[in-house]
Structure 1
């Protein structure tokens, strides 16, 4: 509490009527990436106490829905749902509240901390994966995604998962994050559904060569790069990873 009372963003949030200092994180992230635009439908996962809901409503002016296990005090023009974002039945409640697809899904949720950093990181990744699954089921094509993740051994693996579903994906730390914090935000822009998934095996005609020198084939206009391949050859490949609008395939023997 003593630290919070001395914190610039904490004091500023109190003065400006925001429910949490994290409101300024969303403002700063949105100023840089323009994830939320006027009229967007926004879904906020793990939304209590409502600081991000306040900012999302200010920016969008459109439909804003917040979900959390805890109750959220009313906010004008915002719909709130008391539910578990990891539960499959919550998806239907979200769809009903949105009345369609979301333009943006945001999540500033954090797990209950144990003090064991390995465990806390793993819990953070699990929670972030739940948020990503909700985004995959809820976002319109071209929509945006923002989620908080604790840094750790599997952070880059999670970032790769996000890259498999968005045209652009990167990590970012806003100025309003505390310097000692291990939190990082993952930003996904341009949601899409690739025509292939990791583990798929397919026969692929190599039709071109990328900048790296690897040959590539295409499935519905989606490029799949295969090391050591050359145009005109047909190869059998297994999809190993998907990121930022393309995939990497390994030749099957």
Structure 2
């Protein structure tokens, strides 16, 4: 519901169409504008319950002409964040919960895993993909509980964004560039392994959620080297009070 408890258009539409959250319309807008999920796509959804993006992924990957591959949703535990100079996530207290696959729009192809994305190994994620060939789409709607401290919230969202990026493209090697200083701040805490290869297939698409902050431009510059097209989007379904913005990366080189 909107602020003050009043149901807004997207909330009412999600109820009418059987989506478990209004956030479904964020991914629907991305799909209509960018065609991220093709029929038969293997999708890795990094994010929290209740699973609206999972419902949308199933809808767009399904086709009467081609059977979809597995849709795997890795759930990231909610975190009560403790500040640390080395890493704002490394000393977090993790509260794990089970995720129930929504009954509407989903079927037996959907598989869920309860895991901490900060320690999830790429080989573990790859093992969940069809024939262990990786995923054609990776979606990250991960976001920490908002504290109201702008710099803190923005930094934590960047750590989560860096982890999603690392899982997708593989081990990130920084060279002297106009983005290396930005990424280096978040790299050490998000590389639990030395696996060079990411789990996103060549030509695949990646969506990463950030809370607006000055470091997003550095991520964008790096992604433009790795992907054919990179753009930012603030969906219409985003609440007016939210600082969220999505980086949409198309066509992994």
Alignment TM-score > 0.5, same fold? yes
Partner of 2:65: none
SS at match of 1:115: coil
Spell out the pairing of 1:94-113 with structure 2 (5 A cutoff): 94-99=125-130, 100-113=133-146
State the Cα distance separating 1:8 from its structure 2 match.
Answer: 1.4
Partner of 1:72: 99
1:81 maps onto 2:113 in alignment: yes
Contact 1:151 1:183 in 2 (8 A): yes
Higher relative contact order (CA 8 A, sep 6+): 2
SS at match of 1:164: helix
Partner of 2:26: 25
Partner of 1:14: 15
State the Cα distance separating 1:98 from its structure 2 match.
Answer: 1.0
Cα 1:73/1:88, change in 2 over 3 Å: closer
Higher CA-based Rg: 1
1:163 maps onto 2:163 in alignment: no
Partner of 1:43: 44
Q: Deviations over 1:178-236 (max 9, x none)?
A: 233211110101102xxxxxxxxxxxxxxxxxxxxxxxxxxxxxxxxxxxxxxxxxxxx
Spell out the pairing of 1:132-171 with structure 2 (5 A cutoff): 132-136=165-169, 137-171=198-232
Partner of 1:120: 153
Q: Distance between the aligned counterparts of 1:165 and 1:140, measured in 2?
A: 12
State the Cα distance separating 1:160 from its structure 2 match.
Answer: 1.5
Contact 1:47 1:107 in 2 (8 A): no
Q: Deviations over 1:159-186 (max 9, x none)?
A: 1222221011111112111233211110
Instruction: Name the count of aligned residue pairs.
Output: 191
State the Cα distance separating 1:2 from its structure 2 match.
Answer: 6.2
State the Cα distance separating 1:132 from its structure 2 match.
Answer: 0.5
Contact 1:5 1:11 in 2 (8 A): no
State the Cα distance separating 1:141 from its structure 2 match.
Answer: 0.7
Query: What TM-score do the two structures reach when normalised by structure 1?
Result: 0.71
SS at match of 2:168: helix
Partner of 1:174: 235
Q: Distance between the aligned counterparts of 1:84 and 1:122, measured in 2?
A: 18
Query: What TM-score do the two structures reach when normalised by structure 2?
Result: 0.71
Q: Distance between the aligned counterparts of 2:125 and 2:150, measured in 1?
A: 32
| Gap regions ≥5 residues in structure 2 | 63-67, 78-96, 170-197
- The structure carrying a bigger strand percent of its residues is 1
| Gap regions ≥5 residues in structure 1 | 193-253
Partner of 2:250: 189
Runs ≥4 in structure 1, deviation > 6 angstroms? none
State the Cα distance separating 1:47 from its structure 2 match.
Answer: 4.2
Contact 2:2 2:239 in 1 (8 A): no
Question: Alpha carbon RMSD of aligned pairs, Å?
Answer: 1.5
